Every structure is written in C-alpha cells, then in structure tokens.
Amino acid sequence: MRAIAQPNIALIKYWGKRDTEQNLPAVGSISVTLRDLYTAMQVEFDDVLERDELTVNGAGDNSMLPRLSACLDRVAGTDRAHARIFSDCNFPIAAGLASSASAFAAATVAAAAAADKQFTIAELANLAGQASGSAARSILGGFVELSNRDSGIEVTSLRAAAEWPLNVVVAITETGPKAVGSTEAMEISRRTSPFYSSWVEQQEHDLETARSAIADRDFGKLAAIAEHNCLKMHSIMWASRPPMVYWNSATMRCLQAIRKLQGAGIDVFFTIDAGPQVKAVCLPEHAVKVAAALSATDGVVDVMTTAIGEAARLMDES
C-alpha cells in the first residue's frame, strides 16, 4: 500500500513534551500543510522477510528504520509480519523541513491500509503523533490545529487550503542534516531553559490569537503572532544549556530581506523551525517578489514556492 503526505510548517509551534513515553506535546500547535513537498511511503507486509527493510529514494537506508518499525508495530500490532518499506521524498531530509512529519503521516496511513485496519482521524493522528508529534498535523490538510486532550491529542481543520490560499516560500540555506534533532532539543529546553515554563503558559494565548486570525483571514494578525511565537521558541533554545542555535548567517539575512519586503508593503511573514531554513508565508500575488528577494539573498542555495496542501491519503488500492 502506498500513501502520500505533505510536510507541514507550524505557525504556532510545538516545542516541549508532557509525556516522552507516549510522545505527547506540552502545548497545542497550529500548522499549514505544504502542497508541493511530499513523502510517498509504500508498506508491504511479507511473512518471508526476516526483518523490516527500508529503501529511501531508491537506496538502502537504515537510519530511520527503528522509528519506522516502532510506528508499524503501533499501527499493525507487534505480531505483524516484517515489512518492505519504500520512502520517496522530494526535499532535503532532516534539515528542518519537517521531513519526519510527512514520513510518519504517510507511513501510518500506508501501514493501516496494508494491515487492513480502519482508524478514525483521531486514531490516525495519535498513531502518527506517537512517532513524531508534528506528523499528527499532516494527517489533515489546510490549516490544522493540534490540541491536547486527556486521552491524547486531537487534530482539527481550522480552514481548508482553498478557503485562504496562502503561499509559502521556503528558502534553503543549508542542505545537511541538523546537529541536534528536535526530540532531544525539546528535552534539553524543558530541563534547562529559564524561559520554558512561560512558553507553556503563554501558548494558549498565541493559539487563540492565531485561531481568530485564521477565522477572520486577517493576514497582519496572523503574521504578528506567528513571528512572535517562532522567535519565542528560538529564544528558549538559545537560552538552553547547552545552547542550541539552528540559524546561520543566511537565516538572518533572509529575516532582514523579509523585513525589507514588509517595509515595502508586501504581505509576508517568516517562520523558522529546528533548522536554518526560512519559510516565508505570503499572499499568492506576492509570491514571485518574495521568492526573488530570497533567491537574491547571499547564502540561499535554493528557493521553493508552494501552496497550502491536502491531507495524507492513499495513492492506490493495490
């Protein structure tokens, strides 16, 4: 069975866990799914296999296999047959572009179908979220909110992509994998950052502001809260011990380019995840200008423009 999922970028960030065993987030988050970036994941259970096998973009690659095998166990049960897994991804993996979100959302949907199991959206989100918190949001498309519930998490669609067709321009400033993965970095933040507890306390306010901005399609309001929430998350990391600074000099230059565009009346704002890439969210009529400005920024190696995308889904019934 083959499923496809888009990565998502958080406008209000998930940073910190309330339960590391179940991988439950300490805070809710809001994201948009990216239409033109994808991971396609094929899962085939086969009794003759002696272990799970993973092929990434056509080559054997075991780096993600332990997390994928655990994900398949949760979806199909630990008594499942071993699996052949083929992953195809059209963007840099583990570089702060949410590759784990699309990978685990696609793997969850493909494995459920391969095991002939029917799950609700809430169940799929919890299964994907146990593999990687942000993956739960890629189960749905458009503007998605992830909320904490006593029993786990819940994902809801705040708006379909077509109802507010924003664009996202991704500026790649480095293609290598990041130094510290999000999972570890979040725990370092929780244990050592003096700003962590106020981050958790203030998150509901940021979520409420973003929720109402999305309901009203108020770009300026969404821009202000998303940039604030992003910089707050990075402040936690900078103030952790050891400090975690994911930015490089091109990241900073992109922020300056975006400030300049804003000064010229362009509707655009930035967000940055646990990596050096900058994502500029803008109105579609400004996407060409934003992409041109970021392409011309020293240190930017590639620029991709995408619309907001759809939910994770099966690609075929074979």
Binding site for ligand DP6 (CB under 6 A): 10, 13-15, 23, 29, 98, 100, 132-134, 182-183, 273-274
| Shortest spacing between CB 81 and ligand DP6, in angstroms | 26
Whole-angstrom Cα distance, residue 291 to residue 273?
Answer: 19
| Shortest spacing between CB 104 and ligand DP6, in angstroms | 8
Whole-angstrom Cα distance, residue 274 to residue 261?
Answer: 24
| Shortest spacing between CB 14 and ligand DP6, in angstroms | 3
33 or 297, CB closer to ligand DP6? Answer: 33
| Shortest spacing between CB 70 and ligand DP6, in angstroms | 12
Whole-angstrom Cα distance, residue 97 to residue 262?
Answer: 24
21 or 116, CB closer to ligand DP6? Answer: 21
189 or 297, CB closer to ligand DP6? Answer: 189
Whole-angstrom Cα distance, residue 158 to residue 156?
Answer: 6
49-53 long-range contacts (CB < 8 A, ≥24 apart) are: 49/81, 49/82, 49/83, 49/84, 50/82, 51/82, 52/82, 52/83, 52/84, 52/85, 53/82, 53/83, 53/84, 53/85
Whole-angstrom Cα distance, residue 20 to residue 287?
Answer: 39
132 or 286, CB closer to ligand DP6? Answer: 132
| Shortest spacing between CB 5 and ligand DP6, in angstroms | 13
127 or 274, CB closer to ligand DP6? Answer: 274
| Shortest spacing between CB 299 and ligand DP6, in angstroms | 21
Q: What's the Cα-to-Cα distance from 23 to each of 26, 27, 135, 171, rounded to whole Å?
A: 9, 12, 11, 29
107 or 293, CB closer to ligand DP6? Answer: 107
